[in-house]
Structure 1
Amino acid sequence: MNRLRVVPTRRHGQERLYVCGTDGRNVAWYDREAARVNLLSEDRRDDVLHALGPFLTGPVTVGPPSVPTPAELARLTLHPDDDLAPNRPGEALVIDLDRDPGPARRLRPDPRRRALAAEQAVGAALDDLEGGGWHSLHSLPLPGGDRVHHLVIGPAGLFCVRALYARRQRVLVADPMVTVGRREAQPLLRRVRADADRAAHALTAQVHAVLAVVEAARLDVLAPPRRIRVLRDTDLAGLARLGGVLKPADVEALHAMARDRHTWLRV
């Protein structure tokens, strides 16, 4: 008997447990809210129920799933190693810090830890949109070692979000330059727009650029920047109040495409 493993995921704010074979392919999933085990292969019924045994909370219905949507079919055929949905906010920084934590004593705080704190704060704000027809993805790898900090997909469209740590500092935005505290100004808005353009190319859809400023003491935007929103991390929830432009099926299809690692190899 091939060993099966159970992988928990969240979808629309609801938990699902996927049952995978040793090759990473899904053979079933358990929807707790519907109390239903959906089998992709009837001959694995006993194995699946045995693997799910510790997780079942009561009587369940067992049987083949309804006809999957294209987005669900893409999710079911996606190998776990290529699925970016489980990435935590700042995933790349977490891995980098685990590999090289740096000296125990430093004269100045490690900038990677500040960047990680910013991405975690922004990621938490975007994850709070889940359940309202939105999906958020984090730390999406791009060719050349670059990455998209966050991508959020929902009824109002697609938003590529870059986090900026600015705790207790003044942030001055004069497109394309961004000045944090007393540091030298950097053309950060060009980078944010470039991230959104690469995401748009990968997904063949319009992607809006967002710079999320975390914990700034003051945020001054001299003039509305071109093709980009500059928001505090506490204002990101406002994205959910923008007008709807995408149908639920479009949101699901774009999310299925964006979570696939191969989608980002061509940008």
Structure 2
Amino acid sequence: MSRLRVIPTWRHGQERLYVCLTDGRNIAWYDREAARVNLLSDDHREGVLEALGPFLTGPVTVGPPPVPTPAELARLSLHPDDDLAPNRPGEALHIALDRDPGPAHRLRPDPRRRALAAEQVVGEALERLDGAGWHALHSIPLPGGDRVHHLMIGPGGLFALHTVYARKQRVLIADPMVTLGRREARPLLRRVRADADRASYALTAEVHPVLAVAGPADVRITAPLREVRVFQDTELGGLARLGGVLKPADVEALHAMARDRHTWERV
């Protein structure tokens, strides 16, 4: 039994303990969160359990690895260039600024950098919901040069978020107009609804429109809004309290579809 080694690794933020032979081949792994020991060969069952003994916490299921779900198979077959899951918040803005950073000295701040800061703040808040069964995708490209800033998929449904930079500004919302500080009002909520409608078409599922306001001094809504939700970046944790809409398998299936770049080419 001494020929078996236990090697801890981290995958997608979760710890796994792999059991290997001296030549490096994996013969089993312990998924602590699932309380399961996955055996690649039943011939090594006793040795694997003895090697993992000091690490097991409570009763575990022992057996061959579970058959991959359709969502897992779709993810595994997705080409890395077509996978949107690695996108950073504001990915398109990162690329644009790398290609053209603009002049070193300018009279006014580059609006692209403000927009990027807003998407980073909102994106970080959304990614903190991962442990509650939610998936966040960022900077999803749409035909025509548009994009969905953020897409959230979880127990409470699907949400397309459009982010605006409003640091220390008062925000006035009178559907469909949005006024940031002393700037001229814009019919921004039309864009927010349009993004959600395009996402609904691509995913063949209802997607709720959300306006995410980053760092405002105050947000005032003058009348009830049609369909659109408004969140400040500090309130986005409230999404975790929504549930009862999608089952875990549905969440994974929709996430697998949404992360595929080709899904969005027909909208």
The Cα shift of 1:38 comes to 9.4
Unpaired runs of 5+ in structure 2? Answer: 1-9, 17-25, 41-54, 56-62
For 1:249, give the aligned amino acid.
Answer: A
Unpaired runs of 5+ in structure 1? Answer: 1-7, 17-27, 40-58
Give, in whole Å, the separation in 2 of the partners of 1:233 and 1:192: 16
Give the TM-score normalised by the residue count of structure 1. 0.79
Query: In the alignment, is residue 94 of structure 1 matched against residue 63 of structure 2?
Result: no
Query: 2:19: which partner in 1?
Result: none
5 Å-filtered alignment, 1:140-155, equals: 140-155=140-155
Displaced runs of 4 or more, over 2 A? 13-16, 30-39, 63-66
Give, in whole Å, the separation in 1 of the partners of 2:30 and 2:195: 37
The Cα shift of 1:188 comes to 0.3
Decide whether aligned partners of structure 1 residues 38 and 258 sit closer, same or farther in structure 2, where only a CA change above 3 A counts.
Answer: farther
Give, in whole Å, the separation in 1 of the partners of 2:261 and 2:39: 26
Give, in whole Å, the separation in 2 of the partners of 1:141 and 1:247: 27
Query: 1:167: which partner in 2?
Result: 167
Query: 8 Å contact 1:15–1:31 — kept in the other structure?
Result: no
Number of positions where the alignment pairs a residue of Structure 1 with one of Structure 2: 226
Structure having the higher Rg: 2
Q: Cα deviations across residues 20-78 of structure 1 (Å, max 9, x unaligned)?
A: xxxxxxxx9x9784598999xxxxxxxxxxxxxxxxxxx9xxx9843100110101111
For 1:70, give the aligned amino acid.
Answer: P
5 Å-filtered alignment, 1:1-267, equals: 10=12, 13-14=13-14, 33=31, 65-267=65-267
Give, in whole Å, the separation in 1 of the partners of 2:204 and 2:85: 19
Aligned to 1:92, the other structure's residue is in SS state helix
Decide whether aligned partners of structure 1 residues 38 and 150 sit closer, same or farther in structure 2, where only a CA change above 3 A counts.
Answer: farther
Q: Cα deviations across residues 155-202 of structure 1 (Å, max 9, x unaligned)?
A: 000000111100011100000000001111000000000000000000
What CA RMSD, in Å, does the superposition of the two structures yield over aligned residues? 2.5
Give, in whole Å, the separation in 1 of the partners of 2:90 and 2:182: 25
The Cα shift of 1:225 comes to 1.1
Aligned to 2:144, the other structure's residue is in SS state helix
